[in-house]
Structure 1
């Protein structure tokens, strides 16, 4: 082992036992630094790799299902304004019942809601988006009155403005 000139005189005064102790301590420090800098981070990464791989696989599956849904929507034939309006009217009657009223102005449809259950509203929105290709452009919703017996816990009052396909 080659030592710097400034340390060499002090090193020569040490007994062989003390030299071995200093060498052992330096070896321990080097091994500890190697562990903290190189080995421990690599082992941590390796240990977390399986969980990260599962998470990324789940994200990939979600992205593939969204891609398939988008491709299915793109493959659907164009819809005329009249057909889209009929689909919205049918959805309002079947999903919202008496809690929804329609008002048509140009290419925009305003649906007024009164005490509409939240789950029915969510299902209706999905249905008009897919079947009528209607795009919600405005929403003015207020949570309905406190629930009473026989009424779902969340209801909505207000209006939604939808834009329908414009190829009349």
Structure 2
């Protein structure tokens, strides 16, 4: 006697009330499985769709912005090495000042070395952006150390009614010493 025959025989021995209870139990189990396997995951995905859609839209917007920036950079006229060197010299002179930085050209490897002496960090960041935009030069190597803080006495700030506000100008400014090797555009 196989399993289905045994099941049919057992079913035949059950009373009507017991058959009804078994049918209800099987139906409940089938509905629970249907919910856990088919409906609940689909409803979770449907509920999460607007947030995921917004995240993907933001990512797409960011990628489009990056694409536009890349196209703008590609559309810029290419500089030859002499023009790039002149633009880099100008950016060092105007952005970093003659007393804080010195530009030295190296051999035929298409690089220029900028030596920094106690240059504020925000000035270095602005100069790097200017060198990239104007001279098409990018940093190839950087050896920077934090410059020692000047030992000039700082005036004691006067208390203000809002004691929680700190004066940003009284905080010591980070300064850098070292060298930055800038790669210039290839010679044409």
TM-score of the pair, normalised by structure 1:
0.87
What is the CA–CA distance in structure 2 between the aligned matches of 1:153 and 1:35, rounded to whole Å? 62
Please tell me the root mean square deviation across aligned C-alpha atoms, in Å. 2.2
Asked whether the equivalents of residues 108 and 161 of structure 1 are also in contact (C-alpha less than 8 Å), the reply is yes
Asked whether the equivalents of residues 149 and 172 of structure 2 are also in contact (C-alpha less than 8 Å), the reply is no
Partner of 1:142: 145
Partner of 1:104: 105
Partner of 1:129: 132
Asked whether the equivalents of residues 91 and 128 of structure 1 are also in contact (C-alpha less than 8 Å), the reply is yes
Asked whether the equivalents of residues 137 and 161 of structure 1 are also in contact (C-alpha less than 8 Å), the reply is yes
**Alpha-carbon offset, residue 147 of structure 1:** 8.4
Q: Secondary structure at the match of 1:6?
A: helix
What is the CA–CA distance in structure 1 between the aligned matches of 2:60 and 2:125, rounded to whole Å? 26
Asked whether the equivalents of residues 113 and 156 of structure 1 are also in contact (C-alpha less than 8 Å), the reply is yes
Query: Structure with the greater relative contact order (CA < 8 A, sep ≥ 6): 1 or 2?
Result: 2
1:26-41 paired onto structure 2 within 5 Å: 26-41=26-41
Partner of 1:77: 77
Partner of 2:55: 55
Q: 1:63-107, CA deviations, whole angstroms, 9 ceiling, x for partnerless residues?
A: 111111111111111212122112112222222223322111132
TM-score of the pair, normalised by structure 2:
0.78
1:10-49 paired onto structure 2 within 5 Å: 10-49=10-49
Q: Secondary structure at the match of 1:101?
A: strand
Gaps of 5+ in 2: 155-169
What is the CA–CA distance in structure 1 between the aligned matches of 2:86 and 2:53, rounded to whole Å? 47
What is the CA–CA distance in structure 1 between the aligned matches of 2:22 and 2:11, rounded to whole Å? 10
Change (3 A) 1:95 1:121: same
Partner of 2:160: none
Q: Secondary structure at the match of 1:4?
A: helix
Gaps of 5+ in 1: none
Change (3 A) 1:63 1:36: same
Asked whether the equivalents of residues 147 and 154 of structure 1 are also in contact (C-alpha less than 8 Å), the reply is no
